[in-house]
Amino acid sequence: MLLRVAAEFQAFCLDMHELVVDELIRNTATQNGPLEIILRTALRSTHLSVGNPTSDKIKKDFARAGVPEIWNLAGSSSVAAKSKLPTLSRLLKVRNAIAHGQYGEIVRNLPARVSVYDFLNSHCVPDLDHIVSELDFALSVFIDGLFGLGRPW
């Protein structure tokens, strides 16, 4: 289940990146096929498509699409999403340890006296839900700020 949560978070980040790129292109290159191809190629996700969705990879891919300091932007609407990033980092370490059979690493990366199940349900899911909500809101506000056409989603 933990592997699935990590994979679904990565898919969410890729989907959000694609939505941002689609909105940028829709509002700048609507009737220009060659320009659309150039922009889509230049802005595509290069870091999130490979490996784990670390906070640094998320930051780099969104910066590539013109989103400045994604974690500051995401934290601006309520309690900072940045405060939840240590849970994401820990989730990815535990995910890698499970995937590679490194059981000592699982124990080292879990909070003291917490099972993988409890870590997932009590820490990961609530913190990732918060990160997802913040990213969704902040990115739609960012796009609205660029084009002034209202939040696109």
* Regions of the chain short of the pLDDT cut 70: 74-80
Question: Can you give the residue ranges of every domain in the chain?
Answer: 2-147
Model pLDDT, residue 75:
61
What Rg, from alpha-carbon coordinates, does the chain have?
17
Instruction: State if pTM tops 0.85.
Output: yes
C-alpha 114, offset from chain centre: 25
CB environment 30-40: b (16+ within 10 A), e (fewer): eeeeeeeeebe
pLDDT in tens, 63-75: 999 998 888 876 6
Model pLDDT, residue 35:
92
Kindly state the percentage of the chain with pLDDT values over 90.
77
How many residues are there in the chain? 153
